[in-house]
């Protein structure tokens, strides 16, 4: 039985990382594989290179360049595609993911998010994934705000492969969240944040409360030092309502 999640007092906004915090998977990588290999008409290649080779190269370069640089290389793969095509594919990908039977959600984080929404506390998704990829999940979660990668689109509606600032990775996550808090008139001390990786530290450490999903030893050690809660990575399949044809339709 799902444990009842108690909402901390004096919280005015809850900010959640997405990949490996709400989702148990790297959603942006899962979507890329669908887009380049599994969607109707996909060639299995990225810029003429087999997807597997491109992806292996992308992961390997993470040893020598920053996550921000890796993220930019990842999104440049979508240059030249219509924004509308990418978003349609995101909805198709997410529907398939929901019906795959995979345990794609981290249960204690989902329970926490639902508790905040039930108590009318705004929820912000704060992620290095692109808004185009994230829209189906954001709609199902009824997220109040989405702070994510915004892909540059030209006048013809085609992705350029470049990103609009700020890039919501590492320190960029805090920049985006800080701007939202200033707009809303909410102090960082009145917020709680959820993350799973050391790259989430720039926003977690600045908030009044922080919660960590287990899996990154470096972040867990910091959580212990600060007295932050550490949640188990308990994965579950999506709720039945999500799998009953309830994924919102693409309307724009």
**How much is the average pLDDT of 41-64?**
94
In-domain check, residue 151: yes
Is residue 222's pLDDT more than 70?
yes
- Residues 180-199 pLDDT 10s: 999 999 999 999 999 999 99
Contact call for residues 143 and 121 (beta carbons, < 8 A): no
Residue 88 lies in a domain: yes
Per-residue model confidence (pLDDT) at position 240: 83
- Cα–Cα distance measured from residue 242 to residue 245, given in angstroms and rounded to the nearest whole number: 7
Strand, helix or coil for residue 227: coil
pLDDT at position 143 is 96
Instruction: Look at residues 160, 120, 163, 125 and name the one whose alpha carbon lies nearest to residue 145.
Output: 125
Asked, for residue 118, whether it belongs to a domain, the answer is yes
In a domain, 164, yes or no: yes
Q: How many CB atoms lie within 10 A of CB 82?
A: 13
218 is a domain residue: yes
2 domain-assigned = no
Residue 126 located in a structural domain: yes
250 is a domain residue: no
Count the neighbouring beta carbons within 10 Å of the beta carbon of residue 137: 26
CB 12 within 8 A of CB 190: yes
Is the predicted pLDDT of residue 92 greater than 80, yes or no? yes
pTM of this prediction exceeds 0.85: yes
d(CA 46, CA 32): 10
CB 207 within 8 A of CB 187: no
SS3 209: strand
Residue 208: domain span:
13-243
- The structure tokens listed for 209 are 């409360």
Least confident stretch, 104-108, 120-124, 156-160, 240-244: 240-244
Tally of domains in the chain: 1
What CATH number did the domain enclosing 208 receive? Answer: 3.40.50.1000
């Amino acid at each position: 039985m799902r444990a009842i999640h108690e909402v901390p007092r004096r919280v005015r906004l809850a900010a959640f990382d997405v990949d490996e915090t709400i989702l148990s998977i790297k959603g942006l990588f899962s979507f890329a594989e669908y887009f380049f290999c599994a969607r109707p008409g996909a060639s299995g290649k990225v810029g003429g290179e087999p997807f597997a080779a491109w992806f292996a190269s992308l992961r390997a370069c993470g040893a020598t360049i920053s996550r921000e640089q890796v993220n930019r290389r990842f999104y440049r793969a979508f240059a030249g595609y219509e924004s509308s095509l990418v978003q349609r594919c995101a909805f198709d990908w997410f529907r398939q993911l929901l019906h795959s039977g995979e345990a794609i959600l981290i249960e204690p984080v989902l329970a926490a998010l639902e508790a905040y929404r039930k108590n009318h506390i705004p929820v912000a998704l704060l992620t290095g994934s692109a808004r185009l990829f994230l829209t189906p999940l954001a709609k199902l979660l009824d997220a109040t705000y989405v702070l994510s990668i915004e892909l540059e689109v030209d006048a013809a509606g085609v992705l350029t492969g470049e990103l609009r600032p700020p890039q919501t990775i590492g320190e960029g996550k805090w920049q985006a969240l800080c701007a939202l808090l200033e707009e809303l008139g909410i102090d960082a001390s009145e917020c709680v944040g959820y993350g799973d990786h050391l790259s989430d530290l720039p926003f977690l450490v600045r908030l009044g409360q922080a919660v960590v999903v287990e899996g990154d030893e470096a972040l867990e050690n910091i959580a212990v030092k600060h007295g932050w809660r550490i949640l188990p990575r308990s994965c579950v399949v999506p709720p039945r309502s999500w799998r009953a044809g309830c994924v919102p339709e693409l309307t724009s």
